[in-house]
């Protein structure tokens, strides 16, 4: 178990919903949205890398346990719970999960507290595409979509959809054209679970040059405990020279170059 004893905690409330937020670091703010089954030891390891890059992480607990290593049974059980949750519209093609309203408020809180050029947001798996909706707000200047998995790809159309409204996509294109905003996306080739090639094809078509795709060979993923999917956490082989380590480094560089003072 990772106790996250090196983090501070506070309760953040928006629209009557209160959640615990784990905070660590100094420098520009980054909201990290964890994947299923929760704030795992692997997610906490990634967050500490972000902190080491000179950034302040705000990581809300959205669901699940805190600090446990990922196991497949708990991962699938928690995903089943999300599928019936009102806050997570897991099959929505042209709208985002309602929980993004709360997350946008947290990002504004982080920006008001820390200031600077803007806020980074990193979504993973079920939260991956949330970065598209959070970019509706001008203070979000470094959005990262890591193996975005909603809507769940139960049909060909859903496998290609990006879990965002047409307005959110139009806003993203406007900010790309007018502000030079860029979105960073990551996935494994051979991801047969949730983030399939059609989804990145949609992001390339909708966002054009404003979407940078990092797609890694399936064989570069950590082979346990699941097939290639989670680039920054479970699939990470954290050694110099490994493609997954290079992907983490690209995320850190993307965040720092867009958030730190020039």
Q: Enter the tokens of residue 171.
A: 């806003």
**In the prediction, which pLDDT does 114 show?**
97
Q: What's the Cα-to-Cα distance from 53 to each of 140, 142, 166, 228, 251, rounded to whole Å?
A: 18, 14, 34, 26, 10
Superfamily of domain 8-259: Alpha/Beta hydrolase fold, catalytic domain (3.40.50.1820)
130 in Cβ contact with 243 (< 8 Å) = no
Q: Enter the tokens of residue 179.
A: 């502000």
pLDDT digits (tens, 9 = 90+) for 131-180: 999 999 999 999 999 999 999 999 999 999 999 999 999 999 999 999 99
The HSE-up count of residue 173 (CA atoms within 13 Å, CB side) is: 11
Under the banding of pLDDT at 50, 70 and 90, the label for residue 235 is: very high
Q: What is the mean pLDDT of residues 49-75?
A: 95
Residues 37, 78, 153, 92, CA torsion sign: negative
Q: Which residue has the tokens 């993973």?
A: 124
CA distance 74 to 85: 17
Q: What is the mean pLDDT of residues 73-94?
A: 94
Q: Enter the tokens of residue 95.
A: 């709208």
**In the prediction, which pLDDT does 223 show?**
86
Nearest one of 76, 78, 80 to 61, comparing CA atoms: 78
Q: Enter the tokens of residue 181.
A: 């905003």
Q: Which residue has the tokens 């949750």?
A: 85
pLDDT digits (tens, 9 = 90+) for 95-127: 999 999 999 999 999 999 999 999 999 999 999
Is the overall model pTM greater than 0.85, yes or no? yes
Q: What is the mean pLDDT of residues 64-83?
A: 92
Q: What's the Cα-to-Cα distance from 193 to each of 38, 125, 150, rounded to whole Å?
A: 18, 10, 11
């Amino acid at each position: 178990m990772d106790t996250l004893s090196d983090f501070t905690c506070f309760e953040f409330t928006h629209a009557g919903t209160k959640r615990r937020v784990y905070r660590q670091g100094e420098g520009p703010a980054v909201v990290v949205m964890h994947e299923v089954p929760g704030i795992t030891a692997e997610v906490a390891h990634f967050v500490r890398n972000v902190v080491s890059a000179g950034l302040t992480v705000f990581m809300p607990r959205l669901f699940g346990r805190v600090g446990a290593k990922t196991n497949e049974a708990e991962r699938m059980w928690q995903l089943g719970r999300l599928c019936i949750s009102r806050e997570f519209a897991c099959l929505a093609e042209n709208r985002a999960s309602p929980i993004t309203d709360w997350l946008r408020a947290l990002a504004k809180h982080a920006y008001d507290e820390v200031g600077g050029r803007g806020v980074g947001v990193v979504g993973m798996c079920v939260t991956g595409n949330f970065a598209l909706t959070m970019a509706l707000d001008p203070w979000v200047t470094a959005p990262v979509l890591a193996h975005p998995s909603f809507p769940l790809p139960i049909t060909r159309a859903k496998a290609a959809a990006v879990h965002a409204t047409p307005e959110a996509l139009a806003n993203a294109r406007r900010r790309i054209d007018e502000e030079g905003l860029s979105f960073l996306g990551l996935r494994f080739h051979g991801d047969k679970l949730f983030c399939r090639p059609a989804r990145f094809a949609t992001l390339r078509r909708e966002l054009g040059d404003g979407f940078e795709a990092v797609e890694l060979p399936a064989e570069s993923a950590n082979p346990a405990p699941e097939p290639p999917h989670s680039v920054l956490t479970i699939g990470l082989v954290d050694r110099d020279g490994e493609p997954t380590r290079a992907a983490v480094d690209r995320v850190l560089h993307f965040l720092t170059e867009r958030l730190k003072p020039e």
